Structure 1
Amino acid sequence: MDVEGNKRVFQRLGPSSNDNKQQKVCYHWRAGKCNRYPCPFLHRELPVPQPTANGKVSSKRSHGFIDDQNLPRRNPNFNNTRNPNFNNNWGRVQGGGVVRKMEKVCIYWLQGSCSFGDKCRYLHSWCTGDCLSLLTQLEGHQKVVSGIAMPSGSDKLYTGSKDETVRVWDCQSGQCAGVINLGGEVGCVLSEGPWVFVGLPHVVKAWNAQTNTDLSLSGPVGQVYSLVVGNDLLFAGTQDGTILAWKFIAAANCFEPAASLKGHTLAVVTLVVGANRLYSGSMDHSIRVWSLESLQCVQTLSDHTSVVMSVLCWDQFLLSCALDKTIKVWVATESGNLEVTYTHNEEHGLLTLCGMHDSEAKPVLLCSCNDNSVRVYDLPSFSERGKIFSKQEVRSIQLGPGGLFFTGDGTGEVRVWKWSTEQTATSS
């Protein structure tokens, strides 16, 4: 497979030249606020590559629009038969256009101390691009937000933090409706139906938002870092590398221990369910694939070279990110085993992935990096749509209803975002 797409698309904005400055487009001119004269950068767009005589675009590919026929749909099963050549579209953009590199946010503005105001050459905004809008900020947690959940049919948002509390927010007013002190750091939060599950040291708390049932599930050794539900089982990834499973017994309104999955040698920090499989990412640098029927490990993926921080099922693909600065896209071969079909490289370690659709129902991937930013990418091209900035790293991203999503960062702040309805085709 041609993996040329692994390189940053921003390195391909124009033909080579001995004077590199003259081949770059002025960011401030694009924003309509360049006040430098003479400006060392171009005040015009670079030309779009033209087809050659054989009808093909030259090897210096352009990046802009995605062929809608090749867009994946959100589906946990790995069974895409619509486009047999879909694997080759990762990291590529169909059609013309240029993906523009995003402006940088002003570090002094982030600290509240920029003296240039509107005349500052850097961005005074929590995001770039025109695809997102910040609705509100929820302040109250004193440490990193480690989990966000919104139970089905509830008008409350639950956020957990390493400050040993879960805060309950009223979705209508945006005000904190309650604080639950738990006596231990929250490692993760999950909602499934009316239930809210909270991972703590040595225990999982379970609350029913409709009946106010309060249960404690014992068995974990150390901190519970990850939770997921699949095949009527609740799975918990723990600090000692074990994955515990419980089954809900409706008649007794309780959870009974069902299994203990062993194989990882270090903490299990991420779990996801898809295609009748459980996928677990660990600090031991590996991803294990478990059958939901037999609860046996059927494959171990060892391509990452550092902690696997997040795994995500999308269409027939598994996506994973790690502190090794890569996002890997896995696809099932004819034998049923997963192999890497594309690797996307970042400049910083990655913390979490979240997949969703934008206001035009196009698939996008949100990738949190440990440089205090979240990249927003189109799929499958990985062309950049924008960035979200935070004072500290974003550890939690959670989908909400009606195009909303939530981010929680290291300062304890939770932000509510919404996809904008008016967007341009290329990033700006």
Structure 2
Amino acid sequence: MSRTEQTFEDLKSYFRSHSKIREQRAHMSKVHSVCWNADGRHLASGSFDKTVAVYSLERDRFVKGSIYRGHTASVDQLCWHRSNPDQFATASGDKTVRIWDIRAGKCVSVTNTKGENINIAWSPDGKTIAVGNKEDLITFIDTRTNKIRVEEPFSFEVNEISWNNTNDLFFLTNGLGCMHVLNYPSLEHQMTLKAHPANCICIEFGPTGKYFATGSADAQVSLWDANELACLRMISRLEWPVRTISFSHDERLIASASEDLIIDIAFTETGERVTDIHVDASTFTVAWHPKQYLLAYACDEKDSDRRRDAGNVKIYGFPE
């Protein structure tokens, strides 16, 4: 058996014995975003109910923590500082970007923006936050001064944004199935990569910097070499548009989810399925833990029982 096959079989075996799910409810309505902090001790979730909940991971326990209030509209996406485990930022429909500090237990800065914000990214060097709004305007905020440094409008639908791990390229996915690659910090257009035949929805860079991936309305995940900017393979097991993707801490696994009633977990090197998580409703946010094989996710509300299912956050991967 080759090393790749052995690794694949080892991972399949691991998840056969680590498939327990822990669950917490901290929100009154749909969860839009989940994200782990840098050291993996805390998980944050942002919700349509205008709040952020921060949970603690204590050994094999998933503990409800603090609720952060201040936004006056839905919290659509959040992200943590790449190296400071105490700070996270939120993008909201109330036309603000907020930075929060969990040690202080409060919001430490508010930046007013021009539109309803729907996506957010924190640069690897920690100096800049980029936020996109519904009018396809990307605003770059200097986190040292909390002032807007530049606003960059785009003439196409911008779905998600991300820096590469070396902080010198900035990526946007668009409604035409492409990725636009900009030099950073100049923001000069470098190239356009055709990734999918349909709307390119989400983008994620792996923690080690070897890979990045995109998810599309064509129900496929495309896996890319981050250095060569070349597509390596496609993962095509889902049937609905891929809304969210996440790499494990070692980039051996990639999780993808959609309106399908499964979350697909694939072996990055080959695209083969390692396991899947059966869910009861559409899944629009997933996030691997930065150090362990623990996957956080949140599902949409069930039509049959919206109140009971609203606001639940789950973690998969605990030992049976």
Matched, 1:159 2:45: yes
Q: Is the 8 A contact 1:261 1:296 kept in 2?
A: no
Q: Is the 8 A contact 2:8 2:267 kept in 1?
A: no
For 1:317 and 1:400, locate their aligned partners in 2 and report how far apart those are by CA, in whole Å: 17
Unaligned runs of 5+ in 1: 1-64, 69-92, 101-127, 423-428
1:21-420 matches, within 5 Å, as 67-68=3-4, 130=16, 132-152=18-38, 156-172=42-58, 174-178=63-67, 180=69, 182-192=71-81, 193=84, 194-201=86-93, 202-211=95-104, 212-231=106-125, 232-249=127-144, 254-275=145-166, 276-314=168-206, 315-331=209-225, 338-346=229-237, 347-357=239-249, 363-400=252-289, 402-403=291-292, 404-411=294-301, 412-418=311-317
Q: Deviation per CA, 1:219-251, whole angstroms, max 9, x where unpaired?
A: 2422322323244221112221122111122xx
Q: Is the 8 A contact 1:167 1:180 kept in 2?
A: no
- Residue-pair matches, total: 295
Q: Deviation per CA, 1:170-203, whole angstroms, max 9, x where unpaired?
A: 4446234335252211110111122211110221
Q: Deviation per CA, 1:367-415, whole angstroms, max 9, x where unpaired?
A: 1122132101112111111111222122222233551331111133111
The alignment's C-alpha RMSD in Å is 3.2
Where 1:319 maps in the other structure, the secondary structure is strand
Change (3 A) 1:331 1:257: same
For 1:316 and 1:376, locate their aligned partners in 2 and report how far apart those are by CA, in whole Å: 18
For 2:135 and 2:8, locate their aligned partners in 1 and report how far apart those are by CA, in whole Å: 50
1:214 Cα deviation after fit: 2.4
Residue of structure 2 in register with 1:9 after alignment: none
Residue of structure 2 in register with 1:46 after alignment: none
Where 1:130 maps in the other structure, the secondary structure is helix
| Overall identity of the aligned pairs, in % | 12
Change (3 A) 1:367 1:131: farther
Change (3 A) 1:307 1:163: farther
Q: Is the 8 A contact 2:169 2:184 kept in 1?
A: yes
Q: Is the 8 A contact 2:51 2:67 kept in 1?
A: no
Where 1:187 maps in the other structure, the secondary structure is strand
Change (3 A) 1:375 1:131: farther
Larger Rg: 1
Q: Is the 8 A contact 1:145 1:410 kept in 2?
A: yes
Q: Is the 8 A contact 1:272 1:311 kept in 2?
A: no
Change (3 A) 1:332 1:248: closer
Q: Runs (4+) of structure 1 moved beyond 4 Å? A: 93-97, 152-156
TM-score, length of structure 1 as denominator length: 0.61
Paired letter, 1:370: E
Where 2:19 maps in the other structure, the secondary structure is strand
Unaligned runs of 5+ in 2: 302-310
Q: Is the 8 A contact 2:36 2:43 kept in 1?
A: yes
Q: Deviation per CA, 1:322-371, whole angstroms, max 9, x where unpaired?
A: 111121233479xx6x34332332333211111115xxx67111111221
Change (3 A) 1:379 1:240: same
1:154 Cα deviation after fit: 8.6
Q: Is the 8 A contact 2:136 2:157 kept in 1?
A: yes
Change (3 A) 1:235 1:289: same
Please state which structure has a larger fraction of its residues in strand: 2
Paired letter, 2:50: E
TM-score, length of structure 2 as denominator length: 0.79
1:207 Cα deviation after fit: 1.1
